[in-house]
Amino acid sequence: MQYLQRNPLAMPRGGAFRSVRSTISTIFDWQYALEERKLMALYEKGTRLQWRAEDLDWSVDVDIERMARENATDDFMNDVMKAPRRLSMDEAVTFRLHSVAFMLSQFLHGEQGALVASARIVQSVPWEEAKFYAANQVADEARHVEVYHRYLTEKLAVNYPVHPDLQVLLDQIVEDSRWDITYLGMQILVEGLALAAFGTMRITMPNEPLLMDITERIMADEARHVAFGVLSLAKLYQGGSSAERREREEFVIEAIQLLHGRLLMDPVFERLGWDLSVWRPWNEQNAFQKGFRQMMFTKIVPNLKRLGLLSPQVRECLAGLDLLRFEDGKDSVEEPGVAPPEELIALMNDYLGTGEPTNADGSLRIVP
């Protein structure tokens, strides 16, 4: 696909490339048993629902700054978000542009991580039907990288390098030699958070048709990817030694902390020259942004419960971030939809008056 990269991607401090040394076992499955029918159904569904980047209407004029001004972003930042100081319209619009660019940039970098991880799953997973699905996912992830890269470099004037916390987690996922850690880290945690994060675009950017089209298509793909991870690991984690389980639980705790840190917008404040000692506490404690961060984990927590990984230590970690409330929600196999916390719905409805940012029941519905 040919497109004009008006704004090449910003490079991280380490440079344009990053080499991560890893060792994995390559497994051939000579049985071809194809006994996991739910996995095969996901694979077959994925092959039917393939789409191309060229299917999108790239002629759409994207002007985030104009939309921000039309939507009275200064009032939103000052009256709803309770900014630490009163922002002018220009400051609020600039922050809005950088916030969108930061989120989309992390989507792009996470998708490249998923591309690498799903290729590793093809190589290392012992079940043929899982290899089939992971191969299909490789194509999905390549397409996701393609569309986010084009959007960022052709349509937006700003982009960001990979967040340090996300980079650490991606490194850990691809360095580990155990194939189930690749599954757990990418399919359950990174992809689970991404699925919910994409849903925030349906609330915050409803008037940008190109981004809405990208979001709907990618969310449908990601819902299948997360379900793939849950189905693949559910039986595996029913057995295993207590030592092996503790190692997975420790990995989950660290990954959750890194994912939570990746949602904080320190790089945005630093680029704008805003005092981090003032704006980071606001970012951490602001009710609106806390609601969005909590929404990111609405599928991760019940998925971990289905896998039997909500140990006392994991529960303590989740409780400390006010995320344990989601443990009784439906997991990704039962329901791919992502529902925002009630507090977030109330804030949005108060701001919009009678308008509803989501479905009538306050849910974000995803149809894979």
Element (H, E) at 287: helix 287-295
* Length of the chain as a residue count: 368
Tell me which residue of 330, 337, 336, 270 sits closest to 301, measured CA to CA: 330
Q: Is residue 115 within 8 Å of 192, Cβ to Cβ?
A: no
pLDDT at residue 340, rounded to an integer: 62
Contact between residue 18 and residue 115 where contact means Cβ atoms under 8 Å apart? no
Q: What is the DSSP string of 52-70?
A: -GGGS-TT----HHHHHHH
Which residues have a Cβ under 8 Å from the Cβ of 51 and sit 6 or more positions away?
Answer: 143, 217
pLDDT tens for each residue of the chain, 368 residues long: 677 777 788 888 888 878 887 778 888 888 888 888 888 888 888 889 999 999 999 999 999 999 999 888 899 899 888 999 999 999 999 999 999 999 999 999 999 999 999 999 999 998 899 999 999 999 999 999 999 999 999 999 899 999 999 999 999 999 998 999 999 999 999 998 988 888 777 777 888 999 999 999 999 999 889 888 888 888 788 766 788 889 999 999 999 999 999 999 999 999 999 999 999 999 998 888 888 888 889 889 999 999 999 999 999 999 999 899 889 988 888 877 666 666 666 666 665 553 444 444 444 333 32
Host H or E run for residue 247: helix 242-262
For residues 91, 93, 94, 98, the Cα torsion angle rounded to the nearest 10 degrees is 140
**Residues in Cβ contact with 96 at an 8 Å cutoff, skipping those fewer than 6 apart:** 64, 65, 68, 73, 77
CA separation for the pair 234, 42 (Å, rounded): 16
C-alpha torsion angle, residues 251, 257, 262, 268 (rounded to 10): -150
Cα 36 from Cα 33, distance rounded (Å): 8
pLDDT at 11: 81
The dihedral through the CA atoms of 355, 326, 201, 224 has a sign that is negative
What pLDDT score does 352 carry?
A: 54
Distance, first Cα to last Cα, the chain: 26
- pLDDT of 303 reads 92
The CA distances from residue 135 to 119, 141, 310, in Å, are 7, 10, 30
* pTM, rounded to two decimals: 0.88
Who's near 141: CB < 8 A, 6+ residues apart?
Answer: 111, 112, 114, 115, 118
d(CA 351, CA 345): 10
9: left (phi over 0), alpha (psi -120 to 50) or beta: beta
Work out whether the CA dihedral 116, 159, 218, 286 comes out positive or negative. positive
SS3 364: strand
What is residue 154's predicted lDDT score, i.e. its pLDDT?
94
pLDDT at 358: 44
The whole-number pLDDT of residue 238 equals 75
Domain spans of the chain, in order of start: 37-49+63-352
Q: Which of these CATH numbers, 1.20.140.10, 1.10.645.10, 3.40.50.450, 1.10.620.20, describes 37-49+63-352?
A: 1.10.620.20
| The pLDDT value given to residue 365 | 36
77 CB-near residues (< 8 Å, 6+ apart)? 83, 87, 92, 95, 96
Q: How many CB atoms lie within 10 A of CB 212?
A: 14
Distance, in Å, from the CA atom of 18 to the CA atom of 32, rounded to the nearest integer, reads 36
Q: Are 198 and 216 in contact (CB under 8 A)?
A: no
Q: What is the DSSP letter of 338?
A: B
